[in-house]
Amino acid sequence: MNTQSHTLTLGARASGEFVALDADERRRHLYIVGQTGTGKSTLLLNLLRQDFESGAGVALLDPHGDLARAALEHIPRSRTNDLVYIDPADIERPIGFNPLSRVPPDLAPIVADGIVSAFRHVWPDSWGPRLEYILTNAVRALLDVPGATLLMLPRLLIDQPYRVQLVHRHVRDPVVRAYWQNEYAGYTESFRREAIAPIQNKIGKVLMTPALRNMLAQPRSTITPRRLMDEGAIVICNLSKGALGESTAHLLGALVVTALAQAALSRADTPAAERRVFHLYADEFQSFATESFSLILSEARKYALTLTLAHQYLDQLPLPLRAAIFGNAGSVIACRTGASDAPILAEQIGLGGDDALLDLRNFSAWARLLRNGTPTSPVPFDLFPAPRQPRPSAHRLIETSRTRFGRDRKEVEEKIRRFLAVRARSDWAVNS
């Protein structure tokens, strides 16, 4: 099937007529909202299954794990080698995901902002301009170092000989270089300790989580987001908060979104007609939606990255992000909502009143779709039931992905141990 012209079926009207989005309408993004138990996850599973069967490139971020596990069962056998299954709870074969790896210089400011935004998203209550300034300069410096990982960040802040060598040998951006050689070097010891303590606390919390450390501290990533997008991979991220902890799951998800956004933007080097469409699904997407997410919403369509975003209620979103969603999502689907959300969503969809949303039964929805660039009148429809589970295949798929993209835990931890044991050497990142 031609994945570039794949039509996505959402459900059916009472008359039996299918409700669907064509390829161009999908490029303008899909936003789904509704209370727990109203059918959102079933809708997402049906949409994912259609994309799997069409041969489309797909990424799914799931903070609960149930949808990720269910989706595995619907991947066709013919696409076994397309799967990258990211499960940080699999501590024996960690995938290498280094968000600092091989970032083009022109994209370094955007990637650094995305990484810093991911940390700010997880710890908004203990954030400040000084922390952000130092952390941004640290990330910008490490982006210039071959093989750098976030494991190097604490040493950059506290180990002067290491920092001097690293900046002298690797940092190319003149403003970042001047910051470390002049401004940071001029901090008094007491000021420096006070200034970097919040960063050390946050990075330290991340690096003390073995599952996350063993992924992020691999100098050479085993996955390349740009290649995954261009080759039409299936990327399933099981970010179960129960297995990882809430803040860890949210941080990893935000870093994955940043990496995919950077990969999409790097497609500027490819003619528009040759950019393979890639579909990003994010369930409970507010968990991963950093402040830079608004940029992704406005720019993704140009680079053939489509978004399908789902969550439960509007108060989960900061007002600027809510405005970005309503301003950039071409299609909106609302299942049953609460009393505070119904008037807002009814206005967005074009309903005369909010009763239509408050009284919806489970597995029914109202939608405002996009047809030839023009929003439709409100469309009522029923969701399809969950697709019948085929012969179980998840174990085989996971094992194939682990073999291809995972690394032996002992090997990864030995390299981390070696780095932490060596003092004042900036060449480790290059030669390890």
Q: List, as one string, the DSSP characters of 285-335.
A: GGGT--TTHHHHHHHGGGGTEEEEEEES-GGGS-HHHHHHHHHH-SEEEE-
Say if residues 276 and 100 touch (Cβ distance below 8 Å). Answer: no
Question: How large is the C-alpha radius of gyration of the chain?
Answer: 23
Q: What 3-state class would DSSP assign to 242?
A: helix
Tokens 């990484």: give the residue: 115
For residue 23, which amino acid is it?
Answer: A
The token duo for 272 is 């528009």
Say if residues 361 and 40 touch (Cβ distance below 8 Å). Answer: no
Q: What 3-state class would DSSP assign to 218?
A: coil
> Which helix (DSSP H) or strand (DSSP E) does residue 147 occupy?
none
Say if residues 368 and 14 touch (Cβ distance below 8 Å). Answer: no
5: burial class by Cβ within 10 Å (0-12, 13-18, 19+)? exposed
User: What is the pLDDT, as a whole number, of residue 403?
Assistant: 97
Q: How far apart are CA 281 and CA 426, in angstroms?
A: 39
Other Cβ atoms less than 10 A from the Cβ of 372: the count is 8
Q: Which residues of 215-239 are buried (b: 16+ CB within 10 A; e: fewer)?
A: bbbbbebbbebbebbbebbbbbbbb
Q: Walk along the chain (432 residues) and give the pLDDT tens digit of each residue.
A: 445 567 999 999 999 999 999 999 999 999 999 999 999 999 999 999 999 999 999 999 999 999 999 999 999 999 999 999 999 999 999 999 999 999 999 999 999 999 999 999 999 888 999 999 999 999 999 999 999 999 999 999 999 999 999 999 999 999 999 999 999 999 999 999 999 999 999 999 999 999 999 999 999 999 999 999 999 999 999 999 877 788 889 999 999 999 999 999 999 999 999 999 999 999 999 999 887 778 888 899 999 999 999 999 999 999 999 999 999 999 999 999 999 999 999 999 999 888 999 999 999 999 999 888 889 999 999 999 998 877 678 999 999 999 999 999 999 999 999 988 875 444 444 344
User: What is the pLDDT, as a whole number, of residue 5?
Assistant: 61
Say if residues 381 and 11 touch (Cβ distance below 8 Å). Answer: yes
User: What is the pLDDT, as a whole number, of residue 184?
Assistant: 98
Dihedral over Cα of 222, 225, 226, 232: its sign? positive
Q: How far apart are CA 51 and CA 8, in angstroms?
A: 8
Which of 26, 9, 8, 11 lies closest to 362, judged by CA?
A: 11
Q: What is the DSSP letter of 15?
A: T
Between CA 191 and CA 195, with CA 192 as vertex, the angle to 5 degrees is 85
The token duo for 251 is 């941080």
Supply φ then ψ for residue 392, to 5 degrees.
-55, 130
User: What is the pLDDT, as a whole number, of residue 348?
Assistant: 95
Say if residues 290 and 123 touch (Cβ distance below 8 Å). Answer: no
Q: How far apart are CA 145 and CA 155, in angstroms?
A: 14
The boundaries of every CATH 3.40.50.300 domain in the chain are 3-95+223-390
The fold of 3-95+223-390 is: Rossmann fold (3.40.50)
Q: How far apart are CA 196 and CA 158, in angstroms?
A: 9
Between CA 403 and CA 406, with CA 405 as vertex, the angle to 5 degrees is 70
Sequence-distant (6+) residues with CB within 8 A of 17 are none
Q: How far apart are CA 105 and CA 144, in angstroms?
A: 8
Q: How far apart are CA 196 and CA 362, in angstroms?
A: 50
Half-sphere exposure of 74 (CA within 13 A, CB side): 24
User: What is the pLDDT, as a whole number, of residue 4?
Assistant: 59
Helices 246-265 and 189-207: crossing angle in degrees, nearest 10, is 90
